[in-house]
Amino acid sequence: MKIVIGSDHAGVQLKDGIIKLVQSLGHEVTDVGCHSTESVDYSDYAIEVCNKVAAGTADRGILLCGTGIGMTIAANKISGIRCALVHDLFSAQMTRQHNDSNVLAMGERIVGPGLAESIVKVWLETEFSNGERHVNRIHKVMELED
């Protein structure tokens, strides 16, 4: 898969480890920044990641900031994006199986590197169930964009 990843200054330290993990799992990674701990606007990176996912130039996206909250809010404003804020393994699995999330958001100040890497691994490896009830629910939510 092609994975695009972005962070603000509060998620940049977590990002490097996530990139290495994703690459070790055999995926192609595009890092859109940021690349320092100097303060930046999280929304700029959420928009860039999500535009790539929505356009189909990336299969999925990963967003990192201090809490993951701002990234999630910004991401879900982009048509076609189903971004899930995840800080545990069960949610990582369910957001793929039931919601077919295409963007994952996490907070560096909430999860440590070990848990974050486990979350990403579960999220990348879990397939959407394609269950009829889940497909119908996703369509209803996506119709809200129209």
Confirm whether 139 is a catalytic residue.
Answer: no
Cβ-based neighbours of 100, under 8 Å, separated by 6 or more: 82, 128, 134, 138
Cβ-based neighbours of 36, under 8 Å, separated by 6 or more: 9, 12
Q: Which residue has the tokens 């996206």?
A: 61
Element (H, E) at 28: strand 28-31
- Of the listed 9, 34, 50, 65, which one is catalytic? 65
* Rounded distance between C-alpha atoms, residue 84 and residue 100, angstroms: 10
- Of the listed 27, 87, 98, 134, which one is catalytic? 98
Confirm whether 65 is a catalytic residue.
Answer: yes
**8 A C-beta contact, residue 46 and residue 54:** no
Q: Which amino acid is at 15?
A: K
Strands 83-85 and 103-107 turn out to be parallel
Catalytic residues: 65, 98
